[in-house]
A and B are shown apart, each in its own frame.
Chain A
């Protein structure tokens, strides 16, 4: 079955960086786009970024553009989210989610989530 396992979260000071990973299994990773979605404490869902199945197309939410970078390693079935210049507003649970196709902007399966806390 499809499994997505995020890692790399934790507590970080404002202005610092963090890199999240999401290891995928149970499907042919190179056939699906991969997304990141976040949820601030007590808030709703906010889409963050998407990378196409081949890694050639990447899109970001406006508030993350220029600070966050999504990448993938299809040989390792892993997608990454590099987050730079973090602010307290980036505190959230970060989910990776599988796109419903190579270039799909919708997603079906989600990981369990990874907590990122930005605090001095």
Chain B
């Protein structure tokens, strides 16, 4: 299995300030077909997870542009340019190069 490791596991951010979450995979997520299968989801309190970013850097439908994803190979980052109150939740990275596996989750709270 591909192991996904997120850091930090928790983050307290002042509204309007940026936030960044790192995700590292135990092997490269670059597929032979040229695509990199790294995804970001957020689970807001009491809600099911929602897709934010697919294939490293593509924002899903309706996702605000303050969310961005970057990275390659085994190292990936989710950035929130200016955190808002509604961004509270747990953020998960996930790989689907092989059978899906998730990171442990990063809890984002507002200061």
B85 to chain A, nearest CB (A): 23
Given contacts A95-B49, A106-B96, A44 and B105 within 8 Å (CB-CB): yes
With both beta carbons as reference points, the residue of chain A lying nearest to B6 in the complex is identified as A44
Q: Give Cα A61 to B96, complex, Å.
A: 13
Query: Interface size (B, Cβ < 8 Å)?
Result: 23
Q: Give Cα A62 to B41, complex, Å.
A: 23
Which A residues lie within 8 Å of B23 (CB)? none
Counting contact residues on chain A (CB < 8 A from B), the size range is 20 to 34
Which A residues lie within 8 Å of B92 (CB)? 44-45
Q: Of the listed stretches A18-26, A78-86, A107-115, name the one at the interface; the rest are far from the partner chain.
A: A107-115
Tell me, yes or no, whether A46 is within 8 Å of chain B by CB: yes
Tell me, yes or no, whether B22 is within 8 Å of chain A by CB: no
The answer to whether A108 touches B48 (Cβ under 8 A) is no
Tell me, yes or no, whether B101 is within 8 Å of chain A by CB: yes
Given contacts A45-B105, A47-B100, A47-B102, A106 and B49 within 8 Å (CB-CB): no
Given contacts A44-B104, A47-B101, A106 and B39 within 8 Å (CB-CB): yes
Which B residues lie within 8 Å of A108 (CB)? 51, 54, 60
Q: Mark A83-114, 1 if CB is under 8 A from B, else 0.
A: 00000000000010000100011111111110
The answer to whether A113 touches B48 (Cβ under 8 A) is yes
What is B's interface to A at a CB cutoff of 8 Å? 1, 37, 39, 41, 43, 48-51, 54, 60, 90, 92, 94, 96, 98-105
Enumerate 28 A-B pairs (CB-CB under 8 Å) in ascending A order.
A35-B100, A44-B102, A44-B103, A44-B104, A44-B105, A45-B41, A45-B43, A45-B49, A45-B92, A45-B102, A45-B105, A47-B99, A47-B100, A47-B101, A59-B99, A61-B99, A62-B1, A95-B48, A105-B99, A105-B100, A106-B37, A106-B39, A108-B51, A108-B54, A108-B60, A110-B49, A112-B48, A113-B48
